[in-house]
Chain A
Amino acid sequence: MSNPRWQTPAALRRIARRNAAERRFRLLGLGAIALSLGFLALLLVIMAKNGLSGLNWSFLSGSDSTDPHMAGVWGAAKGSLLTMLVTIAIAFPMGVLAALYLEEFAPRTRWIEWVEVSINNLAAVPSIIFGLLGLAVFINTAGLPRSSPLVGGLTLALMTMPVIVISGRNAIKAVPPSIRDAALAVGASKVQTVFHHVLPLALPGILTGTIIGMARALGETAPLLMIGMRAFVATPPGGLTDPSSVLPMQIFLWSDQIDTAFVENTSAAIIVLLMFLMAMNGLAIYLRNKFEVRW
Protein backbone atom coordinates (compact mmCIF):
# COMPACT_ATOMS: atom_id res chain seq x y z
CA MET A 1 0.00 0.00 0.00
CA SER A 2 3.02 2.25 -0.01
CA ASN A 3 2.73 2.96 -3.70
CA PRO A 4 1.87 6.67 -3.73
CA ARG A 5 -0.17 6.28 -6.93
CA TRP A 6 -2.96 4.73 -4.79
CA GLN A 7 -2.74 7.37 -2.05
CA THR A 8 -3.72 10.51 -3.99
CA PRO A 9 -6.99 12.18 -2.91
CA ALA A 10 -8.56 11.32 -6.28
CA ALA A 11 -7.70 7.64 -5.94
CA LEU A 12 -9.00 7.51 -2.37
CA ARG A 13 -12.23 9.22 -3.45
CA ARG A 14 -12.67 6.64 -6.21
CA ILE A 15 -12.24 3.79 -3.77
CA ALA A 16 -14.67 5.35 -1.31
CA ARG A 17 -17.23 5.82 -4.10
CA ARG A 18 -16.88 2.19 -5.17
CA ASN A 19 -17.34 0.94 -1.63
CA ALA A 20 -20.42 3.10 -1.20
CA ALA A 21 -21.90 1.73 -4.42
CA GLU A 22 -21.23 -1.77 -3.14
CA ARG A 23 -23.06 -1.05 0.13
CA ARG A 24 -25.97 0.61 -1.67
CA PHE A 25 -26.46 -2.42 -3.90
CA ARG A 26 -26.38 -4.84 -0.98
CA LEU A 27 -29.02 -2.80 0.85
CA LEU A 28 -31.20 -2.57 -2.24
CA GLY A 29 -31.05 -6.32 -2.84
CA LEU A 30 -31.78 -7.09 0.77
CA GLY A 31 -34.71 -4.66 0.67
CA ALA A 32 -36.17 -6.34 -2.41
CA ILE A 33 -36.01 -9.73 -0.74
CA ALA A 34 -37.45 -8.42 2.51
CA LEU A 35 -40.35 -6.78 0.69
CA SER A 36 -41.38 -9.91 -1.24
CA LEU A 37 -40.90 -12.20 1.75
CA GLY A 38 -42.81 -9.70 3.87
CA PHE A 39 -45.87 -9.98 1.63
CA LEU A 40 -45.67 -13.76 1.75
CA ALA A 41 -45.45 -13.65 5.55
CA LEU A 42 -48.39 -11.23 5.68
CA LEU A 43 -50.49 -13.57 3.53
CA LEU A 44 -49.60 -16.56 5.67
CA VAL A 45 -50.34 -14.73 8.91
CA ILE A 46 -53.74 -13.46 7.75
CA MET A 47 -54.71 -16.87 6.35
CA ALA A 48 -53.57 -18.64 9.49
CA LYS A 49 -55.45 -16.20 11.72
CA ASN A 50 -58.70 -16.55 9.77
CA GLY A 51 -58.46 -20.11 8.63
CA LEU A 52 -56.58 -22.31 11.06
CA SER A 53 -59.59 -22.63 13.36
CA GLY A 54 -61.60 -23.97 10.42
CA LEU A 55 -59.08 -26.62 9.52
CA ASN A 56 -60.55 -29.75 11.09
CA TRP A 57 -61.31 -33.22 9.90
CA SER A 58 -64.88 -32.52 8.80
CA PHE A 59 -63.60 -29.58 6.72
CA LEU A 60 -60.88 -31.66 5.13
CA SER A 61 -63.16 -34.60 4.36
CA GLY A 62 -66.38 -32.83 3.42
CA SER A 63 -67.68 -31.27 0.23
CA ASP A 64 -69.31 -27.98 -0.62
CA SER A 65 -72.50 -27.13 1.20
CA THR A 66 -74.79 -24.15 1.59
CA ASP A 67 -74.17 -24.39 5.32
CA PRO A 68 -70.68 -22.98 6.05
CA HIS A 69 -70.23 -25.26 9.04
CA MET A 70 -70.97 -28.35 6.96
CA ALA A 71 -68.94 -27.24 3.93
CA GLY A 72 -65.64 -28.99 3.32
CA VAL A 73 -62.79 -28.89 0.88
CA TRP A 74 -62.32 -32.55 -0.04
CA GLY A 75 -64.62 -32.45 -3.07
CA ALA A 76 -62.66 -29.59 -4.57
CA ALA A 77 -59.30 -31.09 -3.60
CA LYS A 78 -60.18 -34.38 -5.24
CA GLY A 79 -61.36 -32.47 -8.30
CA SER A 80 -58.02 -30.68 -8.41
CA LEU A 81 -56.14 -33.97 -8.10
CA LEU A 82 -58.07 -35.63 -10.92
CA THR A 83 -57.74 -32.55 -13.10
CA MET A 84 -53.97 -32.43 -12.52
CA LEU A 85 -53.68 -36.13 -13.36
CA VAL A 86 -55.30 -35.53 -16.74
CA THR A 87 -53.17 -32.44 -17.31
CA ILE A 88 -49.87 -34.14 -16.62
CA ALA A 89 -50.81 -37.28 -18.54
CA ILE A 90 -51.40 -35.16 -21.65
CA ALA A 91 -49.06 -32.20 -21.29
CA PHE A 92 -45.88 -33.99 -20.14
CA PRO A 93 -45.43 -36.49 -22.97
CA MET A 94 -46.63 -33.99 -25.58
CA GLY A 95 -44.41 -31.21 -24.26
CA VAL A 96 -41.31 -33.38 -23.93
CA LEU A 97 -41.70 -34.94 -27.37
CA ALA A 98 -42.28 -31.54 -28.96
CA ALA A 99 -39.22 -30.11 -27.19
CA LEU A 100 -37.05 -33.06 -28.24
CA TYR A 101 -38.20 -32.80 -31.82
CA LEU A 102 -37.63 -29.06 -32.02
CA GLU A 103 -34.17 -29.22 -30.41
CA GLU A 104 -32.76 -32.43 -31.80
CA PHE A 105 -34.50 -33.38 -35.01
CA ALA A 106 -36.18 -30.41 -36.68
CA PRO A 107 -34.37 -28.97 -39.68
CA ARG A 108 -33.65 -25.25 -39.31
CA THR A 109 -36.23 -24.01 -41.74
CA ARG A 110 -38.53 -21.01 -41.91
CA TRP A 111 -41.44 -23.27 -41.03
CA ILE A 112 -39.80 -24.50 -37.82
CA GLU A 113 -38.99 -20.93 -36.80
CA TRP A 114 -42.66 -20.14 -37.21
CA VAL A 115 -43.59 -23.13 -35.02
CA GLU A 116 -41.15 -21.93 -32.33
CA VAL A 117 -42.59 -18.43 -32.31
CA SER A 118 -46.10 -19.87 -32.11
CA ILE A 119 -45.24 -22.01 -29.09
CA ASN A 120 -43.68 -19.05 -27.32
CA ASN A 121 -46.81 -17.03 -28.06
CA LEU A 122 -49.01 -19.86 -26.87
CA ALA A 123 -47.31 -19.73 -23.48
CA ALA A 124 -48.29 -16.08 -23.19
CA VAL A 125 -51.94 -16.42 -24.25
CA PRO A 126 -54.29 -15.33 -21.42
CA SER A 127 -55.73 -18.39 -19.72
CA ILE A 128 -59.37 -17.37 -20.20
CA ILE A 129 -58.89 -17.86 -23.94
CA PHE A 130 -57.84 -21.46 -23.35
CA GLY A 131 -61.09 -21.81 -21.40
CA LEU A 132 -63.09 -20.61 -24.40
CA LEU A 133 -61.14 -22.99 -26.62
CA GLY A 134 -61.83 -25.87 -24.25
CA LEU A 135 -65.52 -25.00 -24.20
CA ALA A 136 -65.71 -24.88 -27.99
CA VAL A 137 -63.62 -27.97 -28.72
CA PHE A 138 -64.02 -30.41 -25.85
CA ILE A 139 -67.58 -29.68 -24.79
CA ASN A 140 -69.42 -28.27 -27.78
CA THR A 141 -67.65 -30.26 -30.50
CA ALA A 142 -66.34 -33.43 -28.86
CA GLY A 143 -69.34 -33.67 -26.52
CA LEU A 144 -67.32 -34.38 -23.37
CA PRO A 145 -69.15 -33.82 -20.07
CA ARG A 146 -69.29 -30.25 -18.80
CA SER A 147 -67.72 -29.39 -15.41
CA SER A 148 -65.68 -32.62 -15.42
CA PRO A 149 -62.02 -33.03 -14.39
CA LEU A 150 -61.49 -34.61 -17.82
CA VAL A 151 -62.35 -31.43 -19.70
CA GLY A 152 -60.66 -29.25 -17.06
CA GLY A 153 -57.50 -31.31 -17.32
CA LEU A 154 -57.49 -31.23 -21.11
CA THR A 155 -57.96 -27.46 -21.12
CA LEU A 156 -55.18 -26.91 -18.58
CA ALA A 157 -52.95 -29.32 -20.55
CA LEU A 158 -53.25 -27.03 -23.58
CA MET A 159 -52.08 -24.20 -21.36
CA THR A 160 -49.28 -26.12 -19.65
CA MET A 161 -47.80 -27.80 -22.73
CA PRO A 162 -46.05 -24.70 -24.10
CA VAL A 163 -44.49 -24.08 -20.68
CA ILE A 164 -43.11 -27.62 -20.68
CA VAL A 165 -41.86 -27.21 -24.26
CA ILE A 166 -40.01 -24.03 -23.42
CA SER A 167 -38.41 -25.30 -20.21
CA GLY A 168 -37.73 -28.63 -21.88
CA ARG A 169 -35.93 -27.00 -24.78
CA ASN A 170 -33.75 -25.02 -22.40
CA ALA A 171 -32.89 -28.17 -20.45
CA ILE A 172 -32.07 -30.04 -23.67
CA LYS A 173 -29.97 -27.14 -24.94
CA ALA A 174 -27.97 -27.24 -21.70
CA VAL A 175 -26.79 -30.81 -22.37
CA PRO A 176 -23.24 -30.41 -23.68
CA PRO A 177 -22.87 -31.19 -27.41
CA SER A 178 -19.81 -33.31 -26.61
CA ILE A 179 -22.13 -35.97 -25.16
CA ARG A 180 -24.02 -36.20 -28.44
CA ASP A 181 -20.71 -36.47 -30.31
CA ALA A 182 -19.57 -39.21 -27.95
CA ALA A 183 -22.69 -41.29 -28.50
CA LEU A 184 -22.74 -40.78 -32.27
CA ALA A 185 -19.04 -41.67 -32.51
CA VAL A 186 -19.58 -45.14 -31.04
CA GLY A 187 -22.30 -45.71 -33.60
CA ALA A 188 -25.46 -44.74 -31.75
CA SER A 189 -28.29 -43.61 -33.99
CA LYS A 190 -29.87 -40.20 -33.54
CA VAL A 191 -32.82 -41.65 -31.62
CA GLN A 192 -30.51 -43.74 -29.41
CA THR A 193 -28.35 -40.69 -28.72
CA VAL A 194 -31.38 -38.66 -27.73
CA PHE A 195 -33.13 -41.25 -25.58
CA HIS A 196 -30.07 -42.88 -23.99
CA HIS A 197 -28.07 -39.76 -23.30
CA VAL A 198 -29.67 -36.39 -23.97
CA LEU A 199 -33.09 -36.98 -22.40
CA PRO A 200 -31.78 -38.52 -19.15
CA LEU A 201 -29.41 -35.59 -18.71
CA ALA A 202 -32.13 -33.06 -19.48
CA LEU A 203 -34.76 -34.74 -17.31
CA PRO A 204 -34.12 -32.86 -14.04
CA GLY A 205 -34.56 -29.54 -15.84
CA ILE A 206 -37.61 -30.78 -17.71
CA LEU A 207 -39.19 -32.04 -14.46
CA THR A 208 -38.59 -28.75 -12.71
CA GLY A 209 -40.23 -26.86 -15.57
CA THR A 210 -43.09 -29.32 -15.67
CA ILE A 211 -43.87 -29.00 -11.99
CA ILE A 212 -43.73 -25.21 -12.14
CA GLY A 213 -46.16 -25.38 -15.07
CA MET A 214 -48.37 -27.77 -13.12
CA ALA A 215 -48.32 -25.53 -10.07
CA ARG A 216 -49.52 -22.69 -12.26
CA ALA A 217 -52.27 -24.89 -13.69
CA LEU A 218 -53.29 -25.91 -10.17
CA GLY A 219 -53.94 -22.30 -9.25
CA GLU A 220 -55.75 -21.50 -12.47
CA THR A 221 -59.38 -20.41 -12.20
CA ALA A 222 -60.34 -18.41 -15.27
CA PRO A 223 -60.31 -21.13 -17.95
CA LEU A 224 -62.25 -23.47 -15.70
CA LEU A 225 -65.01 -20.88 -15.31
CA MET A 226 -65.64 -21.23 -19.02
CA ILE A 227 -66.06 -24.99 -18.94
CA GLY A 228 -68.54 -24.97 -16.11
CA MET A 229 -66.38 -25.97 -13.16
CA ARG A 230 -67.92 -23.22 -11.05
CA ALA A 231 -71.10 -25.20 -10.50
CA PHE A 232 -72.17 -26.02 -6.97
CA VAL A 233 -71.07 -29.64 -6.44
CA ALA A 234 -72.00 -31.21 -3.12
CA THR A 235 -70.33 -34.63 -3.61
CA PRO A 236 -66.72 -35.40 -4.43
CA PRO A 237 -66.28 -36.56 -8.05
CA GLY A 238 -66.20 -40.33 -8.37
CA GLY A 239 -64.35 -40.30 -11.68
CA LEU A 240 -62.94 -38.17 -14.47
CA THR A 241 -66.31 -37.50 -16.04
CA ASP A 242 -68.26 -36.51 -12.91
CA PRO A 243 -69.09 -32.86 -12.28
CA SER A 244 -66.52 -31.36 -9.98
CA SER A 245 -64.94 -28.22 -8.66
CA VAL A 246 -61.28 -27.41 -8.04
CA LEU A 247 -59.54 -25.73 -5.10
CA PRO A 248 -59.04 -22.22 -6.52
CA MET A 249 -62.62 -22.28 -7.82
CA GLN A 250 -63.89 -23.30 -4.39
CA ILE A 251 -61.98 -20.39 -2.88
CA PHE A 252 -63.50 -18.06 -5.45
CA LEU A 253 -67.02 -19.36 -4.80
CA TRP A 254 -66.73 -19.12 -1.02
CA SER A 255 -65.19 -15.66 -1.10
CA ASP A 256 -68.31 -14.59 -2.98
CA GLN A 257 -70.69 -15.79 -0.26
CA ILE A 258 -72.53 -13.27 1.87
CA ASP A 259 -72.51 -15.43 5.01
CA THR A 260 -69.49 -14.29 7.04
CA ALA A 261 -68.91 -17.83 8.30
CA PHE A 262 -67.54 -18.59 4.83
CA VAL A 263 -64.58 -16.26 5.47
CA GLU A 264 -63.08 -18.93 7.67
CA ASN A 265 -63.72 -21.56 5.00
CA THR A 266 -62.09 -19.40 2.34
CA SER A 267 -58.96 -18.92 4.40
CA ALA A 268 -58.80 -22.58 5.33
CA ALA A 269 -59.14 -23.58 1.68
CA ILE A 270 -56.35 -21.17 0.79
CA ILE A 271 -54.15 -22.89 3.37
CA VAL A 272 -54.97 -26.25 1.78
CA LEU A 273 -54.15 -24.92 -1.70
CA LEU A 274 -50.85 -23.45 -0.46
CA MET A 275 -49.99 -26.81 1.09
CA PHE A 276 -50.65 -28.44 -2.28
CA LEU A 277 -48.37 -25.93 -4.00
CA MET A 278 -45.61 -26.34 -1.44
CA ALA A 279 -45.82 -30.11 -1.76
CA MET A 280 -45.45 -29.79 -5.53
CA ASN A 281 -42.51 -27.44 -5.27
CA GLY A 282 -40.94 -29.77 -2.72
CA LEU A 283 -41.40 -32.62 -5.15
CA ALA A 284 -39.73 -30.56 -7.87
CA ILE A 285 -36.69 -29.96 -5.68
CA TYR A 286 -36.56 -33.61 -4.64
CA LEU A 287 -36.75 -34.89 -8.22
CA ARG A 288 -34.16 -32.40 -9.41
CA ASN A 289 -31.70 -33.51 -6.74
CA LYS A 290 -32.43 -37.17 -7.28
CA PHE A 291 -31.86 -37.15 -11.03
CA GLU A 292 -29.22 -34.48 -11.21
CA VAL A 293 -25.98 -35.75 -12.76
CA ARG A 294 -22.81 -34.47 -11.23
CA TRP A 295 -19.96 -33.97 -13.68
Chain B
Amino acid sequence: MTDIKLQARNVDVYYGQKKAIDNVSIDIDNGLVTAFIGPSGCGKSTFLRSLNRMNDTIADARVTGEILLDGEDIYAASMDPVALRARVGMVFQKPNPFPKSIYENIAYGPRIHGLAQGKADMDVIVEKSLTQAGLWNEVKDRLNDPGTALSGGQQQRLCIARAVAVSPEVILMDEPCSALDPIATARIEELIDDLRQTYAIVIVTHSMQQAARVSQRTAFFHLGVMVEYGETSEIFTNPREARTKDYITGRYG
Protein backbone atom coordinates (compact mmCIF):
# COMPACT_ATOMS: atom_id res chain seq x y z
CA MET B 1 0.00 0.00 0.00
CA THR B 2 2.93 2.32 0.45
CA ASP B 3 4.97 3.42 -2.52
CA ILE B 4 8.38 4.99 -2.80
CA LYS B 5 8.38 8.75 -3.28
CA LEU B 6 12.01 9.69 -2.76
CA GLN B 7 14.99 7.46 -3.22
CA ALA B 8 18.55 8.32 -2.29
CA ARG B 9 21.34 6.16 -3.66
CA ASN B 10 24.90 6.44 -2.32
CA VAL B 11 24.58 10.11 -1.58
CA ASP B 12 27.65 12.03 -0.41
CA VAL B 13 27.46 15.72 0.47
CA TYR B 14 30.62 17.80 0.70
CA TYR B 15 31.20 21.29 2.05
CA GLY B 16 34.41 22.16 0.27
CA GLN B 17 36.79 19.37 1.24
CA LYS B 18 34.75 18.30 4.23
CA LYS B 19 32.49 15.32 3.76
CA ALA B 20 29.27 16.01 5.67
CA ILE B 21 27.25 13.03 4.45
CA ASP B 22 28.83 9.71 3.65
CA ASN B 23 27.15 7.23 1.34
CA VAL B 24 23.54 7.46 2.44
CA SER B 25 20.91 5.34 0.71
CA ILE B 26 17.31 5.59 1.83
CA ASP B 27 13.77 5.10 0.47
CA ILE B 28 11.12 7.53 1.64
CA ASP B 29 7.53 6.40 1.21
CA ASN B 30 4.35 8.23 0.42
CA GLY B 31 1.79 8.50 3.18
CA LEU B 32 4.35 8.19 5.95
CA VAL B 33 6.25 10.52 8.21
CA THR B 34 9.96 9.79 8.12
CA ALA B 35 12.04 11.19 10.98
CA PHE B 36 15.77 11.88 10.88
CA ILE B 37 17.30 11.80 14.35
CA GLY B 38 20.87 12.07 15.59
CA PRO B 39 23.18 14.28 17.63
CA SER B 40 23.93 17.88 16.55
CA GLY B 41 26.23 18.13 13.58
CA CYS B 42 25.51 14.57 12.42
CA GLY B 43 24.44 15.81 8.98
CA LYS B 44 20.71 15.18 9.18
CA SER B 45 19.79 18.76 8.24
CA THR B 46 22.40 18.76 5.50
CA PHE B 47 20.90 15.61 4.04
CA LEU B 48 17.39 17.05 4.33
CA ARG B 49 18.43 20.18 2.45
CA SER B 50 19.91 18.10 -0.34
CA LEU B 51 16.46 16.56 -0.95
CA ASN B 52 15.12 19.79 -2.45
CA ARG B 53 18.46 21.24 -3.52
CA MET B 54 18.44 24.00 -0.93
CA ASN B 55 22.14 23.22 -0.65
CA ASP B 56 22.55 24.78 -4.09
CA THR B 57 22.49 28.16 -2.36
CA ILE B 58 25.63 27.30 -0.39
CA ALA B 59 28.57 28.11 -2.61
CA ASP B 60 30.90 25.20 -1.87
CA ALA B 61 28.32 22.48 -1.18
CA ARG B 62 28.48 19.51 -3.55
CA VAL B 63 26.23 16.46 -3.79
CA THR B 64 27.21 13.19 -5.44
CA GLY B 65 25.18 10.03 -5.87
CA GLU B 66 21.56 9.92 -6.94
CA ILE B 67 18.39 11.32 -5.41
CA LEU B 68 15.26 10.25 -7.28
CA LEU B 69 11.84 11.86 -6.96
CA ASP B 70 9.31 9.48 -8.52
CA GLY B 71 12.25 7.85 -10.27
CA GLU B 72 13.53 11.14 -11.70
CA ASP B 73 17.04 12.31 -10.76
CA ILE B 74 16.64 15.69 -9.05
CA TYR B 75 20.28 16.61 -9.73
CA ALA B 76 19.98 15.84 -13.46
CA ALA B 77 20.56 18.74 -15.84
CA SER B 78 16.96 18.40 -17.03
CA MET B 79 15.61 19.04 -13.51
CA ASP B 80 14.91 22.70 -12.78
CA PRO B 81 15.72 23.36 -9.11
CA VAL B 82 13.00 26.01 -8.94
CA ALA B 83 10.31 23.61 -10.18
CA LEU B 84 11.71 20.94 -7.86
CA ARG B 85 11.27 23.17 -4.81
CA ALA B 86 7.64 23.73 -5.73
CA ARG B 87 7.23 19.92 -5.62
CA VAL B 88 9.35 19.40 -2.50
CA GLY B 89 8.41 22.12 -0.03
CA MET B 90 10.24 23.01 3.15
CA VAL B 91 9.50 24.30 6.63
CA PHE B 92 12.38 25.71 8.61
CA GLN B 93 13.60 25.62 12.18
CA LYS B 94 12.69 29.20 12.97
CA PRO B 95 9.32 30.41 11.69
CA ASN B 96 10.15 32.71 8.78
CA PRO B 97 6.97 34.31 7.46
CA PHE B 98 7.42 37.05 4.90
CA PRO B 99 6.95 40.47 6.51
CA LYS B 100 3.70 40.81 4.59
CA SER B 101 0.04 40.11 5.31
CA ILE B 102 -1.14 36.63 6.25
CA TYR B 103 -2.97 36.45 2.92
CA GLU B 104 0.13 37.47 0.95
CA ASN B 105 2.26 34.90 2.74
CA ILE B 106 0.05 32.14 1.38
CA ALA B 107 -0.73 33.71 -1.99
CA TYR B 108 2.89 34.35 -2.98
CA GLY B 109 3.76 30.78 -4.00
CA PRO B 110 0.57 30.08 -5.99
CA ARG B 111 0.92 33.45 -7.70
CA ILE B 112 4.47 32.94 -8.98
CA HIS B 113 3.51 29.46 -10.20
CA GLY B 114 0.28 30.69 -11.82
CA LEU B 115 -1.86 28.28 -9.79
CA ALA B 116 -4.83 30.64 -9.37
CA GLN B 117 -7.09 32.11 -12.06
CA GLY B 118 -8.12 35.37 -10.50
CA LYS B 119 -8.83 36.61 -7.03
CA ALA B 120 -11.73 34.28 -6.18
CA ASP B 121 -9.58 31.28 -7.04
CA MET B 122 -6.75 32.63 -4.89
CA ASP B 123 -9.14 33.17 -1.98
CA VAL B 124 -10.04 29.49 -2.20
CA ILE B 125 -6.39 28.41 -2.18
CA VAL B 126 -5.63 30.67 0.79
CA GLU B 127 -8.58 29.37 2.80
CA LYS B 128 -7.81 25.74 1.93
CA SER B 129 -4.13 26.06 2.84
CA LEU B 130 -4.83 27.82 6.12
CA THR B 131 -7.49 25.23 6.95
CA GLN B 132 -5.05 22.41 6.23
CA ALA B 133 -2.54 24.05 8.54
CA GLY B 134 -5.22 24.36 11.24
CA LEU B 135 -4.92 28.14 11.27
CA TRP B 136 -8.01 29.29 9.36
CA ASN B 137 -10.32 29.78 12.33
CA GLU B 138 -7.72 31.81 14.20
CA VAL B 139 -6.89 34.21 11.35
CA LYS B 140 -9.89 34.31 9.00
CA ASP B 141 -10.96 37.74 10.30
CA ARG B 142 -7.54 39.30 10.01
CA LEU B 143 -6.03 38.03 6.80
CA ASN B 144 -4.60 41.48 6.14
CA ASP B 145 -2.67 41.63 9.39
CA PRO B 146 1.07 41.07 9.07
CA GLY B 147 2.12 37.43 9.34
CA THR B 148 4.89 38.49 11.67
CA ALA B 149 2.35 39.69 14.25
CA LEU B 150 1.21 36.12 14.96
CA SER B 151 2.56 34.07 17.85
CA GLY B 152 5.50 31.74 17.23
CA GLY B 153 3.35 28.63 16.90
CA GLN B 154 0.89 30.40 14.61
CA GLN B 155 3.78 31.68 12.51
CA GLN B 156 5.08 28.16 12.07
CA ARG B 157 1.63 26.94 11.03
CA LEU B 158 1.50 29.89 8.63
CA CYS B 159 4.79 28.65 7.16
CA ILE B 160 3.31 25.18 6.83
CA ALA B 161 0.25 26.67 5.11
CA ARG B 162 2.59 28.58 2.80
CA ALA B 163 4.38 25.35 1.89
CA VAL B 164 1.08 23.51 1.36
CA ALA B 165 -0.34 26.28 -0.84
CA VAL B 166 1.78 25.33 -3.87
CA SER B 167 0.51 21.71 -3.66
CA PRO B 168 3.84 20.03 -3.11
CA GLU B 169 4.32 16.27 -3.12
CA VAL B 170 6.82 16.15 -0.29
CA ILE B 171 7.23 18.45 2.71
CA LEU B 172 10.60 18.65 4.42
CA MET B 173 10.63 19.95 7.99
CA ASP B 174 13.87 21.01 9.61
CA GLU B 175 13.27 20.88 13.39
CA PRO B 176 9.95 22.70 12.98
CA CYS B 177 9.17 22.79 16.70
CA SER B 178 12.53 23.65 18.21
CA ALA B 179 11.55 27.32 18.68
CA LEU B 180 8.05 26.56 20.01
CA ASP B 181 6.51 25.93 23.41
CA PRO B 182 5.02 22.49 24.27
CA ILE B 183 1.43 23.45 23.41
CA ALA B 184 2.36 24.87 20.01
CA THR B 185 4.54 21.81 19.47
CA ALA B 186 1.63 19.49 20.16
CA ARG B 187 -0.51 21.34 17.61
CA ILE B 188 2.17 21.05 14.94
CA GLU B 189 2.59 17.35 15.68
CA GLU B 190 -1.16 16.77 15.24
CA LEU B 191 -0.96 18.72 12.03
CA ILE B 192 1.92 16.61 10.75
CA ASP B 193 -0.16 13.50 11.34
CA ASP B 194 -3.05 14.99 9.33
CA LEU B 195 -0.78 16.13 6.51
CA ARG B 196 0.78 12.74 5.92
CA GLN B 197 -2.46 11.61 4.27
CA THR B 198 -1.65 14.02 1.45
CA TYR B 199 2.11 14.47 1.44
CA ALA B 200 5.22 12.46 2.07
CA ILE B 201 6.76 14.14 5.11
CA VAL B 202 10.35 14.14 6.23
CA ILE B 203 11.10 15.70 9.59
CA VAL B 204 14.43 16.39 11.24
CA THR B 205 14.14 16.50 14.99
CA HIS B 206 16.30 16.72 18.06
CA SER B 207 13.58 15.30 20.22
CA MET B 208 13.41 11.54 20.25
CA GLN B 209 10.01 11.67 21.88
CA GLN B 210 8.82 13.73 18.96
CA ALA B 211 10.23 11.25 16.45
CA ALA B 212 8.50 8.45 18.33
CA ARG B 213 5.22 10.37 18.42
CA VAL B 214 4.92 11.60 14.84
CA SER B 215 6.86 9.25 12.62
CA GLN B 216 6.35 5.79 11.18
CA ARG B 217 9.93 5.45 9.93
CA THR B 218 13.06 6.68 11.64
CA ALA B 219 16.59 7.09 10.33
CA PHE B 220 19.42 7.53 12.83
CA PHE B 221 22.36 9.59 11.66
CA HIS B 222 25.75 9.79 13.31
CA LEU B 223 28.85 11.61 12.04
CA GLY B 224 27.51 11.90 8.51
CA VAL B 225 26.58 8.24 8.24
CA MET B 226 23.08 6.80 8.34
CA VAL B 227 23.54 4.18 11.02
CA GLU B 228 20.12 2.64 10.98
CA TYR B 229 16.80 3.04 9.23
CA GLY B 230 13.55 1.24 9.89
CA GLU B 231 10.12 1.25 11.43
CA THR B 232 10.00 3.81 14.23
CA SER B 233 8.64 1.24 16.67
CA GLU B 234 11.55 -1.10 15.87
CA ILE B 235 14.21 1.62 16.18
CA PHE B 236 12.98 2.72 19.57
CA THR B 237 12.27 -0.68 21.10
CA ASN B 238 14.69 -2.98 19.40
CA PRO B 239 17.52 -1.21 17.59
CA ARG B 240 19.93 -3.40 15.67
CA GLU B 241 22.96 -1.16 16.13
CA ALA B 242 24.69 -0.48 19.42
CA ARG B 243 25.20 3.19 18.46
CA THR B 244 21.47 3.68 17.91
CA LYS B 245 20.72 2.07 21.24
CA ASP B 246 23.26 4.28 23.03
CA TYR B 247 21.75 7.38 21.46
CA ILE B 248 18.11 6.63 22.18
CA THR B 249 18.87 5.65 25.73
CA GLY B 250 20.65 8.97 26.24
CA ARG B 251 24.21 7.67 26.42
CA TYR B 252 25.35 10.51 24.10
CA GLY B 253 23.94 13.25 21.88
Contact in complex: A181, B82 (CB < 8 Å): no
Which chain B residues numbered 81 to 116 have a C-beta less than 8 Å away from chain A? 82-86, 89-92, 94, 96-99, 108-109, 112-113
| B203 CB, nearest partner CB in chain A, Å | 15
Which residues does chain B contribute within 8 Å of A189, judged by CB atoms? Answer: 82
**Chain A stretch 147-198: residues in CB contact (< 8 A) with chain B:** 176, 178-189, 192, 196-197
A184 to B86, CA, bound (A): 9
Cβ–Cβ < 8 Å partners of B112 in chain A = 186-188, 192, 196
Contact of B59 among A108, A176, A183 (CB under 8 A): A108
**Residue numbers in B under 8 Å from A294 (CB-CB):** 99, 146, 148
Shortest Cβ distance from B96 into A: residue:
A178
* A101 vs chain B, min Cβ distance (A): 15
Q: Which of B91, B98, B162 has the most CB of A within 10 A?
A: B98
Per the 8 Å Cβ criterion, residues 201-258 of A in contact with B are 201
Give the total of B residues in contact with A, Cβ under 8 Å. Answer: 29
A293 adjacent to B92 (CB under 8 Å) = no
Shortest distance from the beta carbon of A202 to any chain B beta carbon, whole Å: 12
Chain B residues contacting A185 (CB-CB under 8 Å) are: 52, 54, 85, 89-92, 163
Give the interface SS of chain A, mostly helix, strand, loop or mixed: helix
Contact of B33 with A by CB under 8 A: no
The answer on a CB contact under 8 Å between B57 and A184 is yes
Name A186's contact: one of B57, B86, B146, B148 (CB within 8 Å): B86
**Chain B 136-191 interface residues, beta-carbon cutoff 8 Å to A:** 146, 148, 159, 162-163, 165-166
Q: Is A295 an interface residue (CB 8 A)?
A: yes
Q: Give chain A interface residues in 246-295, CB to chain B under 8 Å.
A: 293-295
How many Å lie between the Cα of A276 and that of B92 in the bound state?
Answer: 48
Given contact pairs A107-B59, A108-B59, A293-B99, A182 touches B92 in the complex (Cβ within 8 A): yes
Total A-B Cβ pairs within 8 A:
69
CB pair B92–A178 under 8 Å, yes or no, is yes
User: Nearest Cβ distance between residue B201 and chain A, in whole angstroms?
Assistant: 15
Q: How far is the CA of A179 from the CA of B159 in the complex (A)?
A: 11
A187 near B57: Cβ-Cβ < 8 Å? no
B159 CB, nearest partner CB in chain A, Å: 7
> How long is the Cα–Cα vector from A189 to B86 in the complex, in angstroms?
10
Question: For residue A197, which residues in chain B have a CB less than 8 angstroms away from its CB?
Answer: 98
The chain A residue sitting closest to B148, CB to CB, is A295
List residues of chain A with CB within 8 A of the CB of B148.
Answer: 294-295
Give the Cβ gap from A143 to chain B, nearest Cβ, in Å. Answer: 45
17 new A-B contacts at CB < 8 Å, known A185-B91, A186-B86, A187-B83: A178-B94, A181-B54, A181-B90, A182-B96, A182-B97, A182-B98, A186-B108, A186-B163, A187-B112, A187-B113, A188-B112, A189-B82, A196-B112, A201-B99, A294-B99, A294-B146, A295-B148
Which residues of B are in contact with A by a Cβ distance under 8 Å? 52, 54, 57, 59, 82-86, 89-92, 94, 96-99, 108-109, 112-113, 146, 148, 159, 162-163, 165-166
Residues of chain A having any CB pair with chain B under 8 Å:
107-108, 176, 178-189, 192, 196-197, 201, 293-295
20 cross-chain CB contacts under 8 A: A107-B59, A178-B96, A179-B96, A179-B98, A180-B57, A181-B92, A182-B98, A183-B108, A185-B89, A185-B163, A186-B86, A186-B89, A186-B109, A186-B112, A186-B162, A187-B83, A187-B84, A187-B113, A201-B99, A294-B99
